[in-house]
Amino acid sequence: MAIIPKSIFGWEEEIYHLGDLKRLQIVLETLPDEPLMRKLDQERGNGRDDFPVRAMWNLLIAGIIFGHNSIASLLRELNRNMQLVHVCGFGFRKLPGAHNMSRFIGLLLKHEGEIRGMFEGLCQALYSLLDDYGKELAIDSKWLESAANQASARREPDGRSETEARKGVKTYSGVRKDGSAWEKIVTCFGFKIHLLVDAVHELPVAYAVTDAAASDVTEGKELVSELKSRRPGVLETCQHWMGDKGYDDTVLIEMLKEEGIKAVIDKRTLWKAQAEKEVPGYEDAYYDEAGNVYCYTKDKGMRRRMAPNGYEQGRDAVRFKCPAQAYGASCGEAGECQCKNIRVPLSTDPRIFTQVQRESYKWKRLYNRRTSVERVNSRLDGAYGFEERRTRGLARTELHVGIALLVMLATAVWKAKNQQEGKVRSLMKVA
């Protein structure tokens, strides 16, 4: 817990008029950062202590909270804001310059394990404080631009050249109302954050940072494997896992299923040669790539869409009901039909047939919660300055992302402890 000087003003009387300084106080009081501070002090030993590690750390946290996108911007704030100077712990000392901050960040790069430890500790606190935290999870990725425009010819990182960023490419396509096709290609040279978020409270649960060209589905599987080995409680608590079509993969869906998690993942269009396939064991029932099942009458060949009728765990199959029974549709062959109630084993195609039936109201309701990740990413951009932040190197990018997520979680933990559970998603207002 941070020790913040209180002698420069009556804290309890004035704190509610300080805005961002109040938020800074909350985060510094909540962060479990003492182990990291002790290690940094031990590494410094008997060397010069012009800029205490605690004050430098507090200043980095303030940079995230105040939304500064560069060290230069943060230092300008420090030099004109005496309250910030004292809250961070510099007192009447000489203030640090850009080279001092760069050196301190270099020291922090050696302690990524401690940053991760704080992140996981705050997540664990939220599991204890919020009953429904971690039950509904959503995953998505976000690009982060590098400060460089292209990769350096150097092979080894030197702290200045960009050797780890890559160019990511995404292609969006569709069909306009007039039937014409459209396509949009966007690129990013830099890095990518893969973020797993609690979809109810819109708070991070796990994250990874890679170059911008990394595959979403590959990193999704890596994240599941890492959680299984290091944080199994996350997977044990999770009930549903939401993701867009970038995570549509049979292996990932099966990995989640093995952990007792129901995947709610949008589906890519992969079928090229055929529009429908026959449901195994039923001559007159067919399914399409969207997961819809249709029955055909024998005489007239009329095609009707069957109604989703739930998941049967004992047989690991999804059920579909005759439209005549479900909707009261007229059918002259209803008495002879063999497709009144059919079961489609999930093994038929795990991408298409899932435990939460596609096109069901439940699937749509759960999938809509996937946008919780987009809102967390929006807060990183807007509230924490990542929209204009440019960083060189994978390690530095991961550090800045980790600190921002720590701020987000620490704010939520403080609110949950102070009976403000309904406001844990709000990062700007604290009262």
Strand, coil or helix: 185: strand
156 contact partners, CB below 8 Å, separation of at least 6: 163
Strands of the sheet with 276-278, listed across from one edge = 276-278, 285-288, 293-296, 303-305
Please give the single-letter amino acid code of residue 387: E
Q: How far apart are CA 431 and CA 429, in angstroms?
A: 6
Predicted local distance difference test score (pLDDT) of residue 336: 62
In this prediction, residue 63 carries a pLDDT of: 94
Q: Residue 73 class from Cβ within 10 Å (0-12 exposed, 13-18 middle, 19+ buried)?
A: middle
- Predicted confidence at residue 409, as pLDDT, reads 96
Contacts of 221 (CB under 8 A, 6+ apart): 249, 251, 252, 255
Is the Cβ–Cβ distance between 262 and 311 less than 8 Å?
no
Q: Residue 317 is inside which H or E element, if any?
A: strand 317-321
pLDDT value of residue 105: 94
Per-residue pLDDT of the chain (431 residues; tens, 9 = 90+): 554 444 333 333 333 344 678 889 999 999 999 999 999 999 887 666 778 999 999 999 999 999 998 899 999 999 999 999 999 999 888 899 999 999 999 999 999 999 999 999 999 999 999 989 999 999 999 999 998 888 877 777 666 778 888 999 988 877 788 878 888 999 999 999 999 999 999 999 999 999 999 999 999 999 999 999 999 999 999 999 999 999 999 999 999 999 999 999 998 888 877 788 888 888 778 888 888 888 887 665 677 888 888 899 889 999 888 876 666 666 655 556 666 788 889 999 999 999 998 878 899 999 999 999 999 999 999 888 888 888 888 999 999 999 999 999 999 999 888 865 555 555 544 43
Tally of helices (H runs) and strands (E runs) in the chain: 15, 13
**In the prediction, which pLDDT does 387 show?**
85
Q: Which of 212, 101, 190 minimizes the C-alpha distance to 389?
A: 190
Alpha carbon distance 91, 51 (integer Å): 10
CB burial of 297-336 (b: ≥16 within 10 Å; e: otherwise) equals beeeeeebbbbbbebeeeeebbbbbbbbbbeeeebebeee
Do 227 and 205 touch, CB atoms closer than 8 A? Answer: no
Q: What are phi and psi of 43, to 5 degrees?
A: -65, -35
The confidence score (pLDDT) of residue 206 equals 97
